[in-house]
Structure 1
Amino acid sequence: MSISKCKVIDLPRVADARGNLTFIEGHNHIPFGIKRVYYLYDVPGGSDRGEHAHRNLHQFIVCMSGSFDVHLDDGQKNKRIHLNRSYFGLYVCPMIWRYLDNFSSGAVCMVLASENYDESDYIRDREVFLKEIATL
């Protein structure tokens, strides 16, 4: 997989004086069906999250509150994306090394995933990731 397949996607926004609304539909706004949703919050200052890749899982990362950075690496290219709005998110395809850092106070990161949790889908060692990516 290539980092060029990872992209920021603008989500629909319904503006209203009573408050705005954004929604996400699998296979419509993002390129996969949603099987799992999880979120990160209360991340201590200076901490990072992630530091892994997925063999098959597709993810869509949204900053619901505050801000944070997502670092992507396909073994050849690196990219950093700053997320700070709840009406756009970052699509991350399989076989991309990622980590999140630079969390602001009160940041909330929501992740939509294409599959249920499966530990065997994780690559947690960067050297193993680089070996696997070289065989694709």
Structure 2
Amino acid sequence: MASVPYILQFDQFGSPSEGFITTTQFAERLPFAMRRVFWTYDTPIDVLRGNHANKTTEEVLVALTGTVTVEAETKAGKNTFTLSSPVTGLYIPAMCWTRISFSPDAIVLCLTSTDYDQEDYIHSYEDFSRLIGRI
């Protein structure tokens, strides 16, 4: 399991005249066994999503349409990523605090390593900072 976020590239098949398909068929390229899939859409531009970390869940975010900006913080530091292509994903490790902003037309797909469990979420930035040894 990686401890820092990083960009993944997915294979794209097709052509401009026929359209394209991107697939997770080659699942060994994902950094975890996929357990759950969900998507976020119609997020108002002034809403900042995320604002949490997961204790054990790993994720890959893909902007299917539009653009999302992800601020990601781990024990190793902070990084900002911009996703705007359905062939690019962002791996988010466990214990990574995220803040995500969306363009008005953004649809974001999320692949996760676990099923939803409210107990896995850290909603307090102070608690997150304490757990990673920052305070």
**Could you tell me how far 1:19 is from its partner in structure 2?**
0.6
Which residue of 1 is the match for residue 41 of structure 2?
41
1:72-100 CA deviation, whole Å, 9 max, x = no partner?
01145111000000001000110011110
Alpha-carbon distance between aligned partners in 1 of 2:81 and 2:104, rounded to the nearest angstrom: 18
1:79-136 CA deviation, whole Å, 9 max, x = no partner?
10000000010001100111101x212110110000000011100001111111129x
Aligned to 1:15, the other structure's residue is in SS state strand
Give the total of aligned pairs: 133
Aligned to 2:128, the other structure's residue is in SS state helix
Alpha-carbon distance between aligned partners in 1 of 2:125 and 2:114, rounded to the nearest angstrom: 22
TM-score, normalised via structure 2 length: 0.91
- Is 1:94–2:98 an aligned residue pair? no
Letter in 1 for 2:94: P
CA spacing shift, 1:40–1:117, aligned 2, 3 Å: same
Alpha-carbon distance between aligned partners in 2 of 1:70 and 1:76, rounded to the nearest angstrom: 16
1:24-68 CA deviation, whole Å, 9 max, x = no partner?
147412111111111110001211100000110010000000001
Letter in 2 for 1:106: D
- Is 1:113–2:112 an aligned residue pair? yes
Structure 2 unaligned residues grouped into runs of 5+: none
- The structure carrying a bigger strand percent of its residues is 2
Which residue of 1 is the match for residue 128 of structure 2?
129
Which residue of 2 is the match for residue 53 of structure 1?
53
Question: Structure 1 vs Structure 2: percent identity of aligned residues?
Answer: 27
Alpha-carbon distance between aligned partners in 2 of 1:25 and 1:132, rounded to the nearest angstrom: 36
**Coordinate RMSD, CA, aligned:** 1.9
* Contact 1:72–1:99, Cα closer than 8 Å, also in 2: yes
Aligned to 1:115, the other structure's residue is in SS state coil
**Could you tell me how far 1:2 is from its partner in structure 2?**
7.5
Aligned to 1:91, the other structure's residue is in SS state strand
Alpha-carbon distance between aligned partners in 1 of 2:98 and 2:51, rounded to the nearest angstrom: 6
